[in-house]
């Protein structure tokens, strides 16, 4: 049966409503359901869980088959959602690769960790990652995949295995991508990057050690230019794309401002199909990791957290890319599975969670010391179901990003509203997300807008206090 965009949205909404229903009916406040953390088979004598964080690039929050996508098949991501907690109201605080990655690692907003765009370097002396505290707590740490932050690849003293990408300014390539393995460049002819990184990840998991491990598996996929492996290259060639937003068209890359976004000179349809096929390839590799955990008998004592660094617009408001404060770009996929530490697995949580929550959550779960300075909050109370929510608003920031055609933005997002301010000549905007999830109607001059604006301005002002805007 053909599904149009409206059906797709209906299905997504229905899913969220169903999750909300089940939340209120059965699971609220049942912290007692949390099972005690027990010893994993690979780490005898340890009561600490293993941790795997899988980071995807540019995956939209609604691009999983369990979110009702019309044709995308992601059985392994769905499995994570089925066996864990799927946060359907998750966001990044800056919808850009480098700042978002730094936020995952440090638990801080971009104005605090300093990686404001894809050009401002990571300061290894200033920033503290969760790896450091995990190391002190007795963990064996591995970082495998895309580091992709400006400047030289740093020496992460708390990371025991560091495999990353330098080519193409750290973006890497889908095929034959050389890797930097513990500081040395290694050519990888005949490889597909998602599969190659996963193989290294499995090697890391399988290393014999008496310590629990933390693996940070950071994929290039599904960043532009989207290239699926050969066997998936034509999987969605005939897929019906009528559900894409009304305002998209084939040559959207020719629209002023879109020329630097990935995908030119190909058509939107070609790019979107490749995006989905590349995502399927990624899903299969996630399956390899999950199967490996099962085979090793350590799945129960391993926390698997899956997230994307930011969302992506596919034609919404005639844009492609991720650089504006809108739900398409700010929302991310975020799933946590931990059989021994999650209450009521298989639920969807509507709690507002952020990329900056990853670091405190991991440290909390591991029983490690918290970070000295951290803007994020632990999601463990949500996973244990002892709390229904940990925040009601957050700051979104986007710094100048030459040559991308996007103004500097500061926004505050609450459950109901998105208030965006821009540097430069563009006027601020206010959207009622509940009524207008696609942020098509600026209500700043409406009665409703005038009523809520002062409170939102005050909230944004509070968030912006102390930020150096230079």
**Residue 402 interacting with another protein (CB under 8 A):** yes
In the bound complex, what is the minimum distance in angstroms from residue 173's beta carbon to another protein? 9
* Residue closer to another protein (CB basis): 165 or 371: 165
Binding positions for another protein, 256-275, rule CB under 8 A: 256-257, 259-260
Number of Cβ within a 10 Å radius of residue 402: 10
Taking CB under 8 A as the criterion, the residue among 424, 434, 454, 469 binding another protein is: 424
**Residue 450 interacting with another protein (CB under 8 A):** no
Taking CB under 8 A as the criterion, the residue among 400, 416, 437, 467 binding another protein is: 400
Q: Are 318 and 355 in contact (CB under 8 A)?
A: no
In the bound complex, what is the minimum distance in angstroms from residue 133's beta carbon to another protein? 32
* Residue closer to another protein (CB basis): 164 or 333: 164
Query: What ranges in 107-244 are assigned the alpha helix state H?
Result: 110-113, 130-136, 193-206
In the bound complex, what is the minimum distance in angstroms from residue 326's beta carbon to another protein? 17
Number of residues that bind another protein (CB under 8 A): 30
- Residue range at the interface with another protein (CB under 8 A); choices 177-185, 350-358, 372-380, 400-408: 400-408
Can you list the pairs that 201-209 forms with residues at least 24 positions away whose Cβ atoms lie under 8 Å? Answer: 201/52, 201/142, 201/144, 201/289, 202/288, 202/289, 202/292, 204/142, 204/144, 204/161, 205/50, 205/52, 205/289, 205/292, 205/293, 205/296, 206/292, 206/296, 207/140, 209/42, 209/43, 209/140
In the bound complex, what is the minimum distance in angstroms from residue 273's beta carbon to another protein? 16
Taking CB under 8 A as the criterion, the residue among 89, 408, 414, 436 binding another protein is: 408
Binding-residue pattern over the window 62 to 101 for another protein, x denoting contact by CB under 8 A:
----------------------------------------
- Residue range at the interface with another protein (CB under 8 A); choices 15-23, 228-236, 297-305, 417-425: 417-425
* Residue closer to another protein (CB basis): 48 or 111: 111
Taking CB under 8 A as the criterion, the residue among 426, 445, 450, 462 binding another protein is: 426
* Residue closer to another protein (CB basis): 208 or 246: 246
**Residue 242 interacting with another protein (CB under 8 A):** yes
**Residue 405 interacting with another protein (CB under 8 A):** yes
Rg of the chain over Cα atoms, rounded to whole angstroms, equals 21
Burial class (CB within 10 angstroms; exposed 0-12, middle 13-18, buried 19+) of 162: buried
Q: Residue for token digits 């070609």?
A: 270
CA distance 84 to 282: 19
Binding positions for another protein, 125-184, rule CB under 8 A: 168-169
Structure tokens at 400: 């100048």
CA distance 305 to 101: 14
CA distance 25 to 256: 49
**Residue 407 interacting with another protein (CB under 8 A):** yes
CA nearest to 359, candidates 463, 234, 216? 216
* Residue closer to another protein (CB basis): 39 or 176: 176
CA nearest to 76, candidates 352, 281, 345, 371? 281
* Residue closer to another protein (CB basis): 91 or 422: 422
Spatial strand order of the sheet with 393-398 comes to: 393-398, 409-414, 417-422, 429-432
In the bound complex, what is the minimum distance in angstroms from residue 95's beta carbon to another protein? 16
* Residue closer to another protein (CB basis): 24 or 242: 242
Taking CB under 8 A as the criterion, the residue among 131, 204, 312, 422 binding another protein is: 422
CA distance 397 to 392: 17
Binding-residue pattern over the window 201 to 240 for another protein, x denoting contact by CB under 8 A:
------------------------x---------------
* Residue closer to another protein (CB basis): 66 or 411: 411
* Residue closer to another protein (CB basis): 256 or 466: 256
CA distance 217 to 133: 18
* Residue closer to another protein (CB basis): 27 or 243: 243
* Residue closer to another protein (CB basis): 213 or 422: 422
β-pair partners for 411: 396, 420
Structure tokens at 235: 């999987």
User: Running DSSP on this structure, what letter comes out for residue 331?
Assistant: B
Q: Residue for token digits 């994993």?
A: 40
Site for another protein, rule CB under 8 A: 119-120, 168-169, 225, 242, 246-251, 254-257, 259-260, 400, 402-403, 405-408, 422-426
């Amino acid at each position: 049966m053909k599904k149009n965009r409206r059906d797709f949205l209906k299905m997504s909404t229905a899913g969220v409503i169903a999750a909300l229903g089940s939340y209120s009916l059965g699971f609220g406040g049942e912290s007692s359901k949390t099972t005690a953390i027990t010893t994993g088979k690979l780490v005898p004598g340890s009561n600490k869980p293993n941790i795997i964080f899988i980071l995807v690039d540019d995956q939209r929050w609604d691009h999983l088959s369990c979110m009702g996508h019309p044709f995308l098949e992601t059985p392994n991501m769905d499995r994570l959602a089925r066996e864990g907690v799927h946060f359907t109201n998750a966001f990044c605080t800056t919808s850009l690769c480098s700042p978002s990655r730094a936020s995952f690692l440090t638990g801080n907003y971009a104005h605090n960790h300093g990686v404001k765009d894809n050009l401002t370097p990571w300061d290894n002396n200033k920033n503290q990652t969760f790896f450091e505290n995990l190391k002190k707590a007795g963990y064996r740490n591995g970082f495998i995949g895309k580091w992709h932050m400006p400047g030289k690849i740093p020496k992460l003293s708390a990371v025991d295995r560091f495999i990353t990408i330098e080519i193409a300014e750290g973006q890497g390539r889908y095929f034959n991508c050389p890797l930097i393995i513990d500081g040395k460049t290694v050519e990888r002819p005949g490889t597909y990057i998602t599969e190659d990184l996963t193989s290294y990840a499995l090697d890391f998991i399988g290393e014999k050690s008496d310590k629990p491990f933390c693996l940070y598996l950071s994929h290039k996929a599904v960043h532009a230019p989207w290239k699926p492996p050969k066997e998936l290259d034509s999987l969605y060639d005939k897929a019906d794309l009528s559900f894409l937003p009304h305002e998209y068209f084939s040559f959207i890359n020719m629209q002023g401002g879109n020329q630097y976004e990935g995908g030119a000179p190909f058509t939107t349809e070609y790019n979107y199909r490749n995006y989905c096929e590349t995502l399927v390839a990624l899903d299969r590799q996630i399956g390899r990791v999950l199967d490996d955990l099962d085979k090793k008998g350590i799945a129960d004592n391993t926390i698997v957290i899956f997230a994307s660094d930011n969302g992506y617009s596919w034609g919404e408001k005639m844009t492609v890319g991720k650089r504006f404060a809108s739900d398409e770009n700010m929302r991310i996929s975020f799933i946590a599975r931990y059989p021994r530490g999650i209450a009521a697995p298989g639920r969807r949580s509507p709690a507002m969670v952020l990329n900056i929550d990853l670091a405190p959550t991991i440290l909390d779960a591991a029983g490690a010391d918290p970070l000295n300075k951290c803007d994020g909050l632990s999601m463990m109370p949500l996973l244990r179901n002892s709390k229904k929510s940990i925040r009601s608003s957050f700051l979104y920031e986007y710094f100048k990003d030459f040559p991308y055609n996007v103004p500097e933005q500061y926004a505050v997002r609450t459950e109901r509203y998105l208030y965006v301010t821009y540097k430069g000549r563009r006027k601020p905007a206010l959207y009622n997300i509940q009524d207008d999830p696609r942020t098509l109607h600026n209500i700043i001059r409406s009665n409703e807008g005038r009523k809520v604006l002062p409170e939102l301005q005050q909230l944004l002002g509070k968030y912006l206090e102390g930020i150096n805007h230079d």
